[in-house]
């Protein structure tokens, strides 16, 4: 990369090495994305309606596409090196303002409302930072420049559509027509973005470090799971109240429930998919990275937000001293909780099928059991419904530990050998740093 020849005070752009890992600045940047997930959950929890859920999913899809573009840039250059952190800090500020404006993005159109316009402008800045960095990184590669140009129509059109969604409804009279236009424009943006990702193909792209790419997505997923715990704790009045036995039991169930969903991905599927992406090369590797991580992770993140909303409603009722504990959960709490887990598991099964070409019968059975448990959960007390879903998820991971014991041992043995070999090679390379330089015989 020719940037190495023109060093400024901050330093040049540094390319991602084949065995690179996620750097600390990337994790720092992820905190703003986590805040965005939190804002989506909090804004939707204020009034859970079908329209609010649709808006939450539309915003999440647009936000996730920003994350995908961000991960593509991070797979090409080190975000924490040279002058890149300066531009990325500008992107962080834009993403932060984008997140703050999300609760207003779908409010009743008002000529004085600035939320939709701020969201659109912030989106333009985020995409502009990513475009500038990637264009700088590939300026010496004609193939990658041509591939990048294929995405310019998506960038321009999605930006114009979001600006139109902010300006057109506010210019119209209040009513369903303006809201329908706004929702249609956001839906078009989502279809345009994800459709362009498929139509652009894999030619000209590359995933230099499979380790970096997989670790990048695995970290954002686990952070999203952690955010769901925070959302339930903050939104359900667990904070600031005297602990009661129902509240303690609900908190414990929430931890076990989230841990089970973490285990469902990170015990076998995640490590096996990482190995599969390492084994792939060139176009097939790019296609796996796009389909498995950029696309299949979206329903998993959406499922996390949905079941966080359901769990929050249930725990809020459990901790409310005015509501008897024997009453069933109110509102859409059980459908959101169970539907969110089903969405998460289905997304994980799609990921498993794309990366490993397998589907676990245990996951299919768990999804069917969860769907069949909806009428049962509606008749149970709120805490009982939460316990039922927790029991099903714990049963899933327990069954897989027992049934797939040999496969789990073989996978862990291979990962151990891989890490041992990598550590030995890395230690040998780093030992050269301490070797004395050969003396010049002429001196």
Q: Write out the H or E segment, with its range, that includes residue 134.
A: helix 115-137
DSSP 78: -
Q: Are residues 266 and 389 in the same domain?
A: yes
Total domain count, the chain: 2
- 104-154 pLDDT, tens digit each: 777 765 544 577 788 888 888 998 898 888 888 887 777 777 777 877 888
Residue 439 covered by a domain: no
Asked, for residue 158, whether it belongs to a domain, the answer is yes
Q: What is the pLDDT of residues 219-229, one digit of tens each?
A: 999 988 988 88
Q: Would 177 be classed as within a structural domain? A: yes
The answer as to whether 436 is a domain residue is no
Per-residue pLDDT band at 239 (split at 50, 70, 90): low
**Which of 85-94, 238-247, 249-258, 398-407 has the lowest average pLDDT?**
238-247
434 part of a folded domain: no
Say if residue 176 is in the same domain as residue 271.
Answer: no
User: What is d(CA 277, CA 198) in angstroms, rounded to the nearest whole number?
Assistant: 19
pLDDT of 205 strictly over 90: no
Q: Which two tokens stand for residue 5?
A: 């020849």
- Given a cut of 90, is residue 36 above it in pLDDT? no
> Is residue 170 assigned to a domain?
yes
Mean residue pLDDT of the chain comes to 84
Question: Which of 159, 189, 205 is the endpoint of a domain?
Answer: 205
- Give mean pLDDT, residues 245-271: 91
Same domain, 394 and 248: yes
201 and 212 part of one domain: no
Residue 15 has pLDDT above 70, yes or no: yes
Are 337 and 411 in a shared domain?
Answer: yes
Residue after which a domain boundary falls, among 205, 231, 266 = 205
Q: Which two tokens stand for residue 290?
A: 């796009």
Residues 196, 212 share a domain: no
Range of the domain at 249: 208-426
Same domain for 167 and 268, yes or no, is no
Is residue 79 included in any domain, yes or no?
yes
Quick check: is 307 in a domain?
yes
pLDDT (tens digit per residue) in 403-421: 999 999 999 998 888 888 8
Residue 167 and residue 227 in one domain: no
Return the closest-CA partner of residue 253 out of 384, 387, 381, 376: 387
- Is there a single domain that holds both residue 395 and residue 271? yes
Claim to verify: residue 273 and residue 362 sit in the same structural domain: yes
Answer yes or no: do 69 and 141 share one domain. Answer: yes
Identify the pLDDT of residue 13.
78
User: What does the pLDDT read at residue 109?
Assistant: 57
Measured over the CA atoms of residue 426, residue 431, residue 434 and residue 437, the dihedral's sign is negative
Tell which of 205, 226, 246 closes a domain. Answer: 205
Q: State the DSSP H helix or E strand holding residue 141, giving kind and residue range, or none if neither.
A: none
User: Do 267 and 385 fall into the same domain?
Assistant: yes
For residue 442, what pLDDT is reported? 62
């Amino acid at each position: 990369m020719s940037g190495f020849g023109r060093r400024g005070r901050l330093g040049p752009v540094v390319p991602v090495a084949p065995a690179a890992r996620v750097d600390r600045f990337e994790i720092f940047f992820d905190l703003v994305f986590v805040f965005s997930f939190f804002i989506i959950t909090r804004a939707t929890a204020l009034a859970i309606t079908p329209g609010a859920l649709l808006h939450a999913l539309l915003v999440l899809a647009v936000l996730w596409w920003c994350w995908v573009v961000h991960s593509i840039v991070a797979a090409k250059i080190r975000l924490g090196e040279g002058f890149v952190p300066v531009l990325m800090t500008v992107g962080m500020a834009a993403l932060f303002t984008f997140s703050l404006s999300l609760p207003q993005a779908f409010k009743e159109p008002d000529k004085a409302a600035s939320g939709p316009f701020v969201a659109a402008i912030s989106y333009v800045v985020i995409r502009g930072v990513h475009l500038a960095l990637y264009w700088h990184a590939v300026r010496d590669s004609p193939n990658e420049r041509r591939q990048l140009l294929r995405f310019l129509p998506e960038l321009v059109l999605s930006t114009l559509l979001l600006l139109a969604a902010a300006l057109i409804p506010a210019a119209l009279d209040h009513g369903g027509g303006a809201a329908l236009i706004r929702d249609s424009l956001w839906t078009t943006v989502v279809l345009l973005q994800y459709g362009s990702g498929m139509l652009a193909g894999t030619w000209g792209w590359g995933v230099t470090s499979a380790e970096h790419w997989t670790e990048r997505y695995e970290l954002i997923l686990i952070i999203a799971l952690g955010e769901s715990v925070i959302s339930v704790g903050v939104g359900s009045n667990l904070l600031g109240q005297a602990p009661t036995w129902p509240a303690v039991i609900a908190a414990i169930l929430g931890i076990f429930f989230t841990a089970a969903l973490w285990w469902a991905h990170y015990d076998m599927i995640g490590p096996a998919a990482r190995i599969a992406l390492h084994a792939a090369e060139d176009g097939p590797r790019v296609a796996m990275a796009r389909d498995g991580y950029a696309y299949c992770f979206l329903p998993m993140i959406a499922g996390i937000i949905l079941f966080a909303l359901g769990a929050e409603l249930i725990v809020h009722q459990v901790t409310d001293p005015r509501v008897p504990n024997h009453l069933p959960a109110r509102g859409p709490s059980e459908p959101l909780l169970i539907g969110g887990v089903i969405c998460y598991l289905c997304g994980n099964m799609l990921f498993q099928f794309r990366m490993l070409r397998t589907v676990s019968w245990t996951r299919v059975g768990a999804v069917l059991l969860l769907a069949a448990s909806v009428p049962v959960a509606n008749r149970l007390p709120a805490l009982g419904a939460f316990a039922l879903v927790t029991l099903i998820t714990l049963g899933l991971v327990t069954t897989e530990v027992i049934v797939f014991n040999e496969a789990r041992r073989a996978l862990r043995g291979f990962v151990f050998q891989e890490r041992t070999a990598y550590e030995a090679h890395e230690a040998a390379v780093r030992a050269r740093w301490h070797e004395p330089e050969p003396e010049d015989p002429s001196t």
